[in-house]
Structure 1
Amino acid sequence: RDDYREFLELVLVFLGGAPHYQFKKPGAVSHARWMAKVIYSLKIYMFQDQFHLSQIQRTSLRYVCLFIVIVYVKFGFTSPMTEKAPHQDLQLLQEINRFSSIHASISKRAMTKISNHLWYLSPEAAVFALFDSDVSEEV
């Protein structure tokens, strides 16, 4: 989908690449769509001088964007691979935990949110990990 492509392009711009990027006009924001919020956060951060943001808002937005590019980008694009889900969710939890050294509050809230979505991790579903090429044979 186009929003995933736009997200990756914005991550590149955020990290200092893609200097001639053509920003797209903002679309609708849905409370159900995390990707729309991610895209808006990155765009607002990049155009923060054109908004009336307090210093606290700027700082908070910077940490949200850091979470997006350090933690979320990898897992947001590999999550549709069913056989990788159990192993990747464990890695995601580890990355969120590591992010606490950068911003403990965001890490704690992200951990709480992702924990609400781990209901599927059962002995039956863990079998999918046997088909994940990233999991060593010793496991």
Structure 2
Amino acid sequence: MSFDTIASNTGARKGACVLLEEKTGHDLLWLACRHHVFEIMLSKIFTLCFGPSSSPQIPLFKRFCDIRETLPKEHYDCLNLDENALQFAKNTLESLTTTLSGENQVRDDYEELINLTMIVLNKPPAKIHWRAPGPIHHARWMAKLIYALKIFLFRNNLQAFKLTKREEKQIVRFVSFGALIYAKIWIEAPLAADAPVNDLLLWKNLRLYEVIDSEIVRGDSAKLTSEVTLEAFVTQRTLKMLSALDIKDSFLELPTDTWNDNDDYLQGKNCVKKLRVVNDTAERGVKLFEDYNTILTKNEDEKQFLLHVVEENR
């Protein structure tokens, strides 16, 4: 059961997850959407960089959207990488390149994030396709980072788009974190089997990132203890996960260097790899329904009538 980590889903008594378990009569495997978890982190960092906002849209992004057609796309400025940032950039570029060359096709907005990040890190793809900006409200996944990356690249084109010194500082700070840390973890989020080690690496990278921007790290990881190991991601409750997935746990009694020769481990590994730990499909389905619903009619009574018609005739 994959879900966004909002209170209406995770509530201990009336949350949707609890109600579904009661309805089905089974203990379900809870898989919090990793994209949603990381989106919460990015949202906090965005607020840290740009300050809080109650507006449904982001004014800076709206300004960029209004003039984007006038920008000369062949002129852009990449991120200046000092010695503290080089290893972050290398790790990110390796991960993004591997994703693009993998068997699974990368969908449009993922591909855009990857390409923009690679351009910012001074390793642009052979052919650059500048996509038209999408919705810029606060709720859209990746919107904050995608827009910020584009603004960063064209920030020195003063004739078309002029930033204040404060805005430029905010953009540089946000994009530096986004390109060096965030893009990699977002793209790797669907990899269920790699989730524990990726979370551990994220924690370690956040600590290393302190030399670049200590305030962002303190704001995002202050609750983490000073020492975290991979064992911290395994508890007695892990056995419940193995049981729920019908994975035999006999390999746990064997040395770890023999696991790759153990059939139970290999079957379990294959099962975990197939788990959906992001909620993208459901989110896109809801968005598609909302758009279609708006196209049909804006009258609430008519919408309810249409829903009844569909229910009775499907």
Once the two structures are overlaid, the 10-residue window that deviates more, 84-93 or 50-59, is 50-59
Structure 1 equivalent of residue 213 of structure 2: 103
Selected match of 2:128 from 4, 17, 21: 21
Structure 1 equivalent of residue 153 of structure 2: 46
The letter of the residue matching 1:36 is: A
Structure 1 equivalent of residue 86 of structure 2: none
1:90, 1:108 → 2: CA distance?
A: 17
2:126, 2:154 → 1: CA distance?
A: 14
Structure-2-length-normalised TM-score? 0.35
- Unmatched tracts of structure 2, length 5 or more: 1-106, 225-232, 243-248, 250-255, 258-314
Structure 2 equivalent of residue 6 of structure 1: 112
Cα 1:9–1:51 change in 2 (3 A) is same
Structure 2 equivalent of residue 31 of structure 1: 138
1:83, 1:4 → 2: CA distance?
A: 20
Q: State the shift of 1:6 in Å.
A: 0.4
Cα 1:33–1:91 change in 2 (3 A) is farther
Cα 1:34–1:98 change in 2 (3 A) is farther
* CA contact 1:7–1:39 (8 Å) conserved in 2: yes
Cα 1:79–1:46 change in 2 (3 A) is same
The 5-angstrom pairing of residues 54-93 of structure 1 reads 54-93=164-203
Q: State the shift of 1:93 in Å.
A: 1.3
Once the two structures are overlaid, the 10-residue window that deviates more, 15-24 or 80-89, is 15-24
* CA contact 1:100–1:107 (8 Å) conserved in 2: yes
The letter of the residue matching 1:2 is: D
Q: Percent of pairs identical after alignment?
A: 29
Higher relative contact order (CA 8 A, sep 6+): 2
- Unmatched tracts of structure 1, length 5 or more: 115-120, 131-136
Once the two structures are overlaid, the 10-residue window that deviates more, 46-55 or 105-114, is 105-114
Q: State the shift of 1:12 in Å.
A: 1.7
Cα 1:45–1:90 change in 2 (3 A) is same
Once the two structures are overlaid, the 10-residue window that deviates more, 28-37 or 8-17, is 28-37
Q: State the shift of 1:4 in Å.
A: 0.5
Measured against aligned partners, the alpha-carbon deviations of 1:45-89 in whole angstroms (never above 9, x if no partner) come to 112233332212212211211111211122111111112212211
Structure 1 ranges of 4+ moved more than 3 A: 125-128
Q: State the shift of 1:113 in Å.
A: 9.8
Q: State the shift of 1:112 in Å.
A: 5.8
Cα 1:20–1:85 change in 2 (3 A) is closer
CA RMSD of aligned residues (A): 2.9
Structure-1-length-normalised TM-score? 0.74
Q: State the shift of 1:31 in Å.
A: 2.0
Q: State the shift of 1:19 in Å.
A: 6.9
1:125, 1:45 → 2: CA distance?
A: 43
**Paired residues, number:** 125
